[in-house]
Amino acid sequence: MTKINRKTGDNNPMLLFEDAFLQVKNEIEKALTGSPLIIREYLSHLTLSQGKYIRAFSVLTASLNADRMVADDAVKAAAAIEVLHLASLVHDDIIDDSELRRGSITLQKQYGKKTAVICGDYLLSLALRMLSGINEKEDYKSLRFPDYVGRLCLGELNQHINNHNLDLSLYTYLKIISGKTAALFEAAFFAGAVTGKKTEKEVESYKKIGHCIGMIFQLSDDCLDFDTTMLEAQKPVQSDYDNGVITLPLIHALHNDVSFKSHAQKGNLTRKEVDEAVRKSDGLGFTRIMINRYYSKAMKAIKMLSIENNAVAEVIALLDKAARFDQKKKA
Ligand code: FPP
Ligand code: MG
């Protein structure tokens, strides 16, 4: 089997997973708080609330070698992907007019939408700079980062175009979340596998796993909008429908209840009516079935990883976290 760039040189030192994870967090914090004075206050605001760093964790997990070590390039890719994610959240909060993110007031609420747009753009430049620091230039090129950024934007645009579309199909909904969320998870697992010098076959498996985990994350997040409190989610809930965003639990209700759909087409539904229709059609149960499908697909790809790959258990733990099997078993 082909091995790509198996050796890492002195310019790409190896670190223990835990140290690498800390280094990712430090590099991001340093980049935000040490940014040029003119933007420093705004970017420092983002450090008040810590995210879960799941995408960075994914890069490092896919990069692990048999000694639980990762190369410095994995740290660079993890920091870049996490900062790109942050950029997309800053922009998303403008689009959704959200006031709360990760338990803190959003940049757009605190400093205004224009400032937030520019800060999101600046964060994107920061992500690009971090990624260009990758030592192994062949790996850097093979990551096809611009393609993933493009997919992220097109997913979000597709969601916007379909705002308030009560005829939204399952296919288009899946295409939207595949772009806006799963693309970045795929990029994270891909970057981890490439910087971890996995075989070409394993790289392909990691990409599939990343895609499935991303789909599961968004499907679960769309369920949370219906069945969690703001305190639990640390961000607004029951807000997707109010923002015109039609998600799978509601799509299922619209497909299954003709009278509800015709009532919806006549004008504004109340939140209570939306919740009631989703409950009656078991929209959350249906979404959970989809989650289970992506879970099985991911498990199939995980089984393709080599037996000696000791990161398998950690990849399964990430998958379970995405599906929130530890918190909520719905189907
Ligand atoms: C959160 O979705 C948003 C995303 C997953 C992606 C947003 C992408 C963009 C705004 C375009 C790309 C931007 C850049 C800078 C390249 P959500 O609103 O469903 O989740 P939430 O409840 O966490 O807000
Ligand atoms: Mg949002």
List domains and CATH numbers for the chain. 14-322 (1.10.600.10)
Instruction: pLDDT band for 12, please (50, 70, 90 cuts).
Output: confident
Residue 328 has pLDDT above 60, yes or no: no
List, for residues 138-149, the tens digit of each pLDDT value: 999 999 999 999
Percent of the chain with pLDDT over 90: 79
CA of 133 to the centre of ligand 1 (A): 25
Distance from C-alpha of 73 to C-alpha of 77, rounded to nearest angstrom: 6
Q: Which residues contact 264 (CB under 8 A, 6 or more apart)?
A: 166, 254
Q: Of all protein residues, whose CA lies closest to atom 17 belonging to ligand 1?
A: 92
Nearest to 238 by CA among 100, 109, 331, 105: 100
Mutate to test the pocket of ligand 1, among 121, 180, 237, 242 (most ligand atoms within 8 A of CB): 180
pLDDT at 1 over 50: no
The answer, yes or no, to whether residue 329 has pLDDT greater than 60, is: no
% of the chain residues with pLDDT over 70: 92
With CA atoms as reference, report the closest residue to 60 among 49, 47, 50, 71: 71
To 10 degrees, what angle do helices 145-161 and 170-177 make? 140
pLDDT tens-digit map of 91-107: 999 999 999 998 899 99
Tell whether ligand 1 has an atom less than 6 A from the beta carbon of residue 120.
yes
Atom of ligand 1 nearest to the CA of 233: 22
Ligand 1 atom showing the smallest separation from residue 181 Cα: 5
Mean pLDDT across 269-288: 92
Instruction: Give the range among 29-38, 158-167, 225-234 with minimum mean pLDDT.
Output: 225-234
Mean pLDDT, residues 287-308:
92
Position 49 scores a pLDDT of 83
Mean pLDDT along residues 63-82: 95
Q: Which of 83, 89, 222 to mutate to test the pocket of ligand 1 (most atoms within 8 A of CB)?
A: 89
pLDDT for the residue 331: 29
Is the overall model pTM greater than 0.95, yes or no? no
Q: How confident is the model at residue 10 (pLDDT cuts 50, 70, 90)?
A: low
Strand ranges in the chain using DSSP code E only, listed in sequence order:
14-16, 69-71, 100-101, 104-105
Q: Which one, of 296, 50, 65, 32, lies nearest residue 192 by Cα?
A: 65
- The whole-number pLDDT of residue 311 equals 84
Cα 214 to Cα 21: distance, rounded to the nearest angstrom: 20
Sign, CA torsion 56/57/62/67? positive
The yes-or-no verdict on residue 300 having pLDDT over 80 is: yes
Q: Which is it for the CA torsion 236, 241, 243, 247, positive or negative?
A: positive
* Pocket of ligand 1 contains residue 96 by CB under 6 Å: yes
